[in-house]
Structure 1
């Protein structure tokens, strides 16, 4: 007798990775063992600290939030929608759950047994690759990363033509070793002379018994825990993690993630009971993968020509595409691409300064505006930037401004060659209007705030989202202090900003259909930027400014901060944060698909599930706009 429930589960699974890579009979085997879980809103599937079970999960309907407890508050790490997989890491790492999974709304979740899944996908390298990536994604700990000021470095492309992850890892064939009787002093001298980061301790049969890294020396010798003359066996890490010589890049990376190590010992038979023949380091993996954040950033920092910067930035687009395909949380993607964009701009300024006849006459700061200023620029967009320089005597002003305008022209030209188009409205530091002294900028912002009009609101909506990319930090801090002090003097400015934030109502018509463009080249296309993203961007800006919060520019982070400040509206703000990330993801995918900004979406290219996800984002837009109308008394403000 046919199992109709299993067939329905199977039909759903086959539409999503990695199940779309399986043959139907294998997929049916998995579907027959799936446990269907119904969750009411706020039901908890598993809690942070719980022991792992034998299932990983996939959302069938609804959405599930994954949260982390930080400073006694629950912070959303990611949101899983229909087709999204979560809960993979604990199964592979054999560890307790690090996140709490809670139904964000009424949801149906499939619990997929890992053992049955592994049997069905045995020897399927594409599926294995997907799981390795899912593991790497779940291994990301944004709190640890933030504390250590590092970035996520695991990159696994999802391209059937890109076999780099499954080629044999290029490990070091002649590793540096020492015997068990060697003193730490002699081992350290050897490492220093050869300029290496680790040394393998071997026994008489040349089997690896331990490893010493720079970290071991720092933590155990420099701290005085052991004397420099101690035997290497006293401070080595043991036993070592080993593998065979034909391991793939993906295998090597997975082992390093799983055991939290930076080196794998390669032995003749892959165990600690055979001769050492090589060492695979994390650096070796990065060099092989090539296209990952750390490598791209290093390439940017070493660039001395615009052409090199363009090459590095193009790699970031490939990285972006693969991260989206692997369903890595958008908040994480935004942080990575923003850091790359800022690094590109920073290096473009460094290159431009070398072209100037003299060093800068006074201190200055380069400001990114708009989406780059909000740290949420993913695709190539028009340039929006400004420059502020230290105050100078009146007779020196024109000369000083001319210097920085010339510098800005070099920078904007370089950014244009890299792929960032010139701003059509000329809102760039090469325009004298956007290249001013600190006092002139203070006066400009005071005028916008205290005498708001249509033009002032248009310009301030761009300029209020600035962030310093290069130069003196004190100049920017002083400008920010002046802005927030001036905001205390008026409420009219907030009304103008509020009117701007509610000018685009809900993107759905009376019958819940999408409101599309009615004429022009974009006829029948949906403008996701003006109808979806901008109401959220404008709302977040207005609310955060009204609360005098400095240093929080990113839209989704602004909503998360507001959720912290207003517990009564926490659910609304978190929904807005999620909606912004979901809409940004749609826009970015469309931009990559059509090689444009992604501003206009061809709805026919979306699946039914994608359209439902898109519509789900519009509810918080309506609710936040209604909140603004009430809070800033906008109903009668025209």
Structure 2
């Protein structure tokens, strides 16, 4: 007799990792032992510091809030939706829980028996890698979860440049060696002839005793500390650091960073007690990763042509795709992509300045606006930028402005060639309205703020998200001071910004149906940018302006800051931050899938679970808009 309940549980589990990596027969066996847990809002699955459970969990319906206490303050970690796995710590490390799991609403949770799961997946490396990676980065959510080192710590290597990569390191076999009696002269000649950067000193049994690199020769021979005829044992670095065949890139990176080295000797058993079989260098790791952030940033820094910058930016897109597929936390992705985008912009301005017929007549600053200004630009989007130049005398003004307009034209042309489309509304520094002197920009902002209308609100809201890229940073700081000083003299401007933030109603219409475009090329498509992301962006901008919060442009970070300032609204602001990250990641995935910006989505292409996740993100939009209506009497 068939177990219909177990089959339904298995069908559900099979939609989500890591269960979709398990055979149907084994999955049904797990499903038969699943513990089905029904929770009311506020019910707890487990508490921080509780002893570990014999189950880990997946959300079947509803949502589970993960939070923890640190220094007597309750901090939100994540909200887990349908298909999200949580409580995995007992599966990886037999330790007490580091956070509390509470039902955010009426929910159903499946408890997966750990002993049975482990026995079935014992030899399944795909499942193991998924769970260990997810545990290390706290990234079980298909759209977004946030890493928090205070909760999970460094279980796996996680450098500032990249997330642990589990592919096997490809090393150089049969490395060049010499014996202990070899003179440094002979070793150096051998290195030069073979064009290699290191040589391994071995004993009679080919066990590695030390290593000599170009750096050793430079620091110990060229400086006169040792004569060129000295034996290699006098200047070699010893003992060597070793690894064995099958070493992963993650482990190799960790060893190199921890010990401050650039070479690992590969031996039969991974120790200095057996014969050397290979050498792994830091360069080998960078080549294997290919498109790591550090490599891309080095390429950008060295680039002297637009074509090379475009190649680097395309590599960044490949990197983005890889990160999204690995479910890396969005905060990590955003920071890396922002650094790459800003580095490209800086280099484009630098190249353009150097190729102008004459140097700039006065100092200036280049600003990124819009999504790049907020450090939220993941995919190629259109340009939004501006230029501020230092005030000059009246007789020099026209020539100065013409110079910077020509410079801006060259910059925007190069950005266009790299892949950043021209702004349809011409909100670029090549437009005279977006290329002004410092005093002109200050006057412009005073007019926008003190005499607001719909156009002023549109233009100023784009500009409020600016990010300094190149030039005289003082000009930007001075403009910021002018803006916040002017805001003190008006309340009307905030009402205009508030109306702008609530102009787009909830993305769901009657009967909980998605509000789609009614005509044009995008008819029947869902505009995730205008209907979901922009209301959150506009609301966050208004809140930080009225609270005079400087230096935080990112939308999610703005909400997180507001949660600190207004504890009574903490839950709302945290849910807005979470929703924005989830929507941003979803948009990026759609853009990569369809090779476009991801702005317009064909709803029929989404699964039921994907639509459910989107709907869950819409609730905070409605709540923050209602809060603004009350706060600003709209």
Normalized against structure 2, the TM-score is what?
0.82
- Name the counterpart of 2:99: 100
Shift in alpha-carbon separation, 1:311–1:55, aligned structure 2, 3 A: farther
Shift in alpha-carbon separation, 1:168–1:554, aligned structure 2, 3 A: closer
Structure 2 residue 250 is the aligned partner of structure 1 residue 253: yes
Shift in alpha-carbon separation, 1:581–1:166, aligned structure 2, 3 A: closer
Q: Matched residue of 1:617: which SS?
A: helix
Shift in alpha-carbon separation, 1:123–1:411, aligned structure 2, 3 A: farther
Between the two proteins, the alignment pairs up a number of residues equal to: 591
- Structure 1 gap ranges (5+): 157-164, 180-190, 214-230
Contact 1:212 1:237 (8 Å CA) reproduced: no
How far residue 425 of structure 1 moved from its aligned partner, in angstroms, is 1.2
Contact 1:201 1:209 (8 Å CA) reproduced: yes
Q: Matched residue of 1:41: which SS?
A: coil
- Distance across 2 between alignment mates of 1:117 and 1:212: 49
Deviations 1:421-454 (A, max 9, x none): 0011111111111111111111111110001011
How far residue 68 of structure 1 moved from its aligned partner, in angstroms, is 6.6
- Name the counterpart of 2:497: 497
Contact 1:52 1:90 (8 Å CA) reproduced: yes
The equivalences for 1:624-635 within 5 A come to 624-634=624-634
- Distance across 1 between alignment mates of 2:24 and 2:318: 31
Shift in alpha-carbon separation, 1:255–1:41, aligned structure 2, 3 A: farther
Structure 2 residue 184 is the aligned partner of structure 1 residue 153: no
- Structure 2 gap ranges (5+): 140-146, 181-190, 214-232
Shift in alpha-carbon separation, 1:278–1:336, aligned structure 2, 3 A: same
How far residue 315 of structure 1 moved from its aligned partner, in angstroms, is 1.6
- Distance across 1 between alignment mates of 2:8 and 2:397: 73
Q: Matched residue of 1:511: which SS?
A: helix
Structure 2 residue 274 is the aligned partner of structure 1 residue 274: yes
Shift in alpha-carbon separation, 1:560–1:498, aligned structure 2, 3 A: same
Shift in alpha-carbon separation, 1:271–1:86, aligned structure 2, 3 A: farther
- Distance across 2 between alignment mates of 1:95 and 1:481: 53
- Name the counterpart of 1:488: 488
| Comparing 488-497 and 525-534, the one that deviates more | 525-534
Structure 2 residue 510 is the aligned partner of structure 1 residue 513: no
Structure 2 residue 314 is the aligned partner of structure 1 residue 314: yes
Q: Matched residue of 2:395: which SS?
A: helix
Shift in alpha-carbon separation, 1:44–1:56, aligned structure 2, 3 A: closer
Shift in alpha-carbon separation, 1:327–1:35, aligned structure 2, 3 A: farther
How far residue 463 of structure 1 moved from its aligned partner, in angstroms, is 0.5
- Distance across 2 between alignment mates of 1:42 and 1:236: 58
Contact 2:405 2:431 (8 Å CA) reproduced: yes
RMSD: 4.0
The equivalences for 1:239-638 within 5 A come to 242-244=243-245, 247=246, 251-253=248-250, 261=258, 265-270=265-270, 273-281=273-281, 283-634=283-634
Q: Matched residue of 2:510: which SS?
A: coil
Normalized against structure 1, the TM-score is what?
0.81
- Distance across 2 between alignment mates of 1:551 and 1:120: 51
How far residue 514 of structure 1 moved from its aligned partner, in angstroms, is 1.4
Contact 2:59 2:84 (8 Å CA) reproduced: yes
- Name the counterpart of 2:227: none
Shift in alpha-carbon separation, 1:395–1:595, aligned structure 2, 3 A: same
| Comparing 378-387 and 49-58, the one that deviates more | 49-58
| Comparing 507-516 and 543-552, the one that deviates more | 507-516
Shift in alpha-carbon separation, 1:359–1:66, aligned structure 2, 3 A: farther
Shift in alpha-carbon separation, 1:541–1:406, aligned structure 2, 3 A: same
Contact 1:136 1:154 (8 Å CA) reproduced: no
